[in-house]
């Protein structure tokens, strides 16, 4: 689950460009023509207009840094601005540490429109996922691995990297003034709306409060210097307190202090002790502290029902342990169109990888039914993948190669193997009770005639009522809050879980 926390921290710097380097990951052949239609980045170094460092603090401790450089370039198409940027986040869970890095490059015109974007997610210098976006004729197109998404280009929208300078240049902001900004977010592959409220003005600093549909329910306090560049930024996401603060040089994290330990953020206390939680057949829970945008459809799941929503962010749910599903022929014949997206290749589950295909085929050979095939895949992942935090940002192919990963990596690998075998699959974010508390967790659901959960990290095919589902992760390019950033935000939510009732069947 460390992967989700780290991704959330990296995505929360929505007003920063999280230095560009070469793209070592070749895009699929079918996408190259699209990428070549994007306006190229200027080859010259350009005239520097801004160069700054920020230290990133989590829970009051140094957790990383961000570096951005903005340069102006004179081209045949007119003036262009390039923002090259790099961001590093380092967190630990107990004695295990993970370091994640993003490198990004933005190309904008004088109007502030985003013309091209490139991002590389890295861990320990290894490139994990590359995302590219750009204007292609009348569309904005985003490409990530085998995925591609188009939306109509909106001329009035900004690229967001120079939006403060463009919006505020040549004017004196007034306290209480509200500015609305629409921008293209490449990581959501779509346009988002931003609301900016001027809170205070002065000769050296302008204070703003910002919200964005890219991170629903999150409020960010921003202080701008005299050039309208970010000097200080502070975000509260439930239990997560994130600060970006401008400094004169690259921060030395080794000297700055201890790496933040996110282990306490993973744990939610329980009001009662549950003996033998895997034997729980039915349970009733009261869940508090969910973001207000979460509705009952988020928590409705196989074996889980929302009984009541007494207040915003508060739900009463009933969970039942699911029995073994009826046998379904294998290979499956998927006729329902709504299931096709759960069979698609994505940047995290690349089905064109021959090792994924070979492994899935070998494990499921001669399986008598789909559920047996899925269980074989789960058992293989549980036995072959070592539980570790060392594979943050990892795709299924990388987990298969390295043979390590925590619950999120294992659930992604299981989903990829299942999809390669023709079994629709998706990943679930939620909570699991163990050792006297609830822990933020991730597992897999497969469609074998109906949706059925499997948990490779916990090593079980039959999750009990001690598992609580909160959201589905799409594993694909999407601007749907339920399967995108909105789902990730649940892992920053300051939750309270009350166990109302537990039932165990006597056997």
Strand partners, 357: none
- What pLDDT, on a 0 to 100 scale, did the predictor assign at position 266? 86
* Phi-psi label, residue 94: left if phi above 0, alpha if psi -120 to 50, beta otherwise: left
Residues 6+ apart with CB under 8 A from 311: none
Residue in 80, 150, 86 with CA at minimum distance from that of residue 113: 80
Please report, for residues 79, 274, 287, 318, 404, the alpha-carbon distance to residue 499 in angstroms, rounded to integers and kept in the order given.
60, 9, 9, 10, 33
- What pLDDT, on a 0 to 100 scale, did the predictor assign at position 446? 97
Are 436 and 359 in contact by the 8 Å Cβ rule? The answer is no
Phi then psi dihedrals of residue 364, to 5 deg: -95, 5
Question: pLDDT by residue (tens digit) across 210-231?
Answer: 998 888 788 999 999 988 889 9
- Give the whole-angstrom CA distance, residue 462 versus residue 451: 12
- What pLDDT, on a 0 to 100 scale, did the predictor assign at position 505? 74
Please report, for residues 116, 117, 172, 234, 237, the alpha-carbon distance to residue 199 in angstroms, rounded to integers and kept in the order given.
32, 31, 13, 14, 20
Cβ-in-10-Å burial (0-12, 13-18, 19+) of 151 comes to middle
Are 475 and 427 in contact by the 8 Å Cβ rule? The answer is yes
Length of the chain: 507
pTM of the complete model:
0.88
CATH architecture assigned to 268-503: Roll (3.10)
- What pLDDT, on a 0 to 100 scale, did the predictor assign at position 161? 65
Tokens of 141: 């197109």
State the distance between the two ends of the chain, measured CA to CA, in whole angstroms. 34
Are 115 and 135 in contact by the 8 Å Cβ rule? The answer is yes
Phi then psi dihedrals of residue 64, to 5 deg: 165, -165
Are 142 and 133 in contact by the 8 Å Cβ rule? The answer is yes
* Residue written as token pair 């599903």: 325
- What pLDDT, on a 0 to 100 scale, did the predictor assign at position 215? 80
Blockwise average pLDDT, block size 10, the chain, 507 residues: 53 40 50 90 91 91 91 95 90 75 91 91 65 93 90 87 78 89 86 93 92 85 91 88 92 75 87 94 96 88 95 96 94 93 91 96 97 98 84 79 90 97 95 94 95 96 94 72 58 89 80
Number of H helices, E strands in the chain: 11, 23
Strand partners, 495: none
Q: Dihedral, CA atoms, 245, 117, 346, 266, nearest 10 degrees?
A: 0
Q: Are strands 267-269 and 230-237 parallel, antiparallel or unpaired?
A: unpaired
Task: Classify residue 340 by its DSSP letter.
Answer: G
- Give the whole-angstrom CA distance, residue 40 versus residue 135: 11
- Give the whole-angstrom CA distance, residue 334 versus residue 219: 43
Are 303 and 319 in contact by the 8 Å Cβ rule? The answer is yes
Tokens of 506: 């006597």
CATH 3.10.620.30 occupies which residues in the chain? 268-503
- What pLDDT, on a 0 to 100 scale, did the predictor assign at position 458? 95
- What pLDDT, on a 0 to 100 scale, did the predictor assign at position 126? 58
Please report, for residues 206, 408, 433, the alpha-carbon distance to residue 279 in angstroms, rounded to integers and kept in the order given.
57, 24, 12
3-state secondary structure of 7: helix
Residues 6+ apart with CB under 8 A from 32: none
- Give the whole-angstrom CA distance, residue 430 versus residue 495: 11
Q: What angle do CA 348, 392, 151 make, to 5 degrees?
A: 40
- What pLDDT, on a 0 to 100 scale, did the predictor assign at position 73? 97
* Phi-psi label, residue 107: left if phi above 0, alpha if psi -120 to 50, beta otherwise: beta
């Amino acid at each position: 689950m460390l992967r989700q926390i780290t991704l959330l921290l990296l995505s929360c710097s929505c007003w920063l460009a999280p230095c560009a380097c070469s793209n070592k990951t070749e895009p699929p052949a079918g996408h190259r023509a699209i990428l070549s239609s994007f306006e190229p980045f200027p080859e010259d170094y350009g005239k520097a207009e801004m160069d700054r460092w920020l230290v990133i603090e989590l829970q009051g401790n140094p957790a990383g840094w961000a570096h951005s450089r903005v340069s102006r370039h004179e081209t045949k198409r007119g003036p262009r601005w390039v923002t090259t940027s790099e961001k590093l986040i380092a967190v630990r869970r107990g004695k295990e540490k993970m370091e994640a890095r993003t490198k990004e490059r933005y190309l904008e015109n004088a109007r502030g429109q985003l013309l091209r974007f490139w991002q590389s997610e890295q861990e320990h210098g290894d490139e994990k996922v590359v995302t590219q976006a750009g204007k292609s004729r009348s569309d904005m197109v985003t490409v990530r691995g085998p995925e591609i998404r188009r939306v109509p280009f909106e001329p009035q929208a900004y690229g967001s990297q120079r939006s403060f300078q463009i919006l505020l240049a040549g004017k004196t902001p007034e306290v209480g003034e509200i500015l609305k900004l629409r921008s293209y977010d490449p990581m959501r592959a779509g346009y988002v709306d931003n609301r900016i409220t001027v809170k205070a003005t002065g000769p050296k600093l302008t204070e703003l409060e910002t919200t964005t549909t890219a991170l629903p329910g999150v409020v960010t306090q921003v202080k701008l210097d005299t050039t309208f560049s970010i000097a200080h930024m502070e975000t509260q996401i439930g239990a997560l307190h994130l600060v970006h603060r401008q400094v004169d040089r690259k921060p030395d994290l080794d000297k700055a202090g201890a790496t933040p330990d996110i282990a306490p953020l993973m744990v939610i206390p329980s009001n009662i002790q549950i003996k033998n939680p895997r034997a729980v057949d039915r349970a009733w829970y009261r869940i508090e502290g969910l973001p207000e945008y979460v509705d009952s459809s988020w928590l409705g799941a196989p074996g889980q029902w929302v009984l009541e929503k007494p207040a915003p962010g508060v739900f009463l749910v009933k969970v039942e342990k699911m029995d073994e599903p009826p046998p379904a022929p294998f290979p499956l014949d998927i006729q329902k169109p709504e299931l096709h997206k759960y069979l698609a290749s994505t940047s995290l589950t690349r089905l064109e990888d021959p090792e994924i295909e070979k492994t899935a085929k070998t494990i499921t050979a001669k399986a008598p039914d789909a559920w047996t095939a899925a269980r074989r895949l789960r058992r293989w992942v549980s036995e072959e993948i070592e539980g570790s935090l060392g594979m943050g940002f990892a795709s299924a192919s990388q987990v298969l190669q390295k043979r390590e990963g925590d619950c999120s990596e294992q659930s992604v690998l299981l989903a990829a193997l299942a999809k390669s075998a023709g079994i629709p699959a998706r990943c679930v974010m939620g909570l699991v009770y163990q050792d006297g508390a609830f822990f933020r967790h991730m597992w897999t659901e497969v469609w074998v005639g109906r949706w059925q959960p499997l948990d490779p990290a916990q090593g079980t095919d039959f999750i009990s009522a001690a598992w609580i589902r909160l959201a589905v992760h799409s594993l694909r390019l999407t601007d749907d809050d339920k399967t995108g950033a909105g789902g990730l935000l649940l892992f920053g939510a300051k939750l309270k879980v009350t166990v109302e009732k537990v039932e165990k069947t006597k056997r």
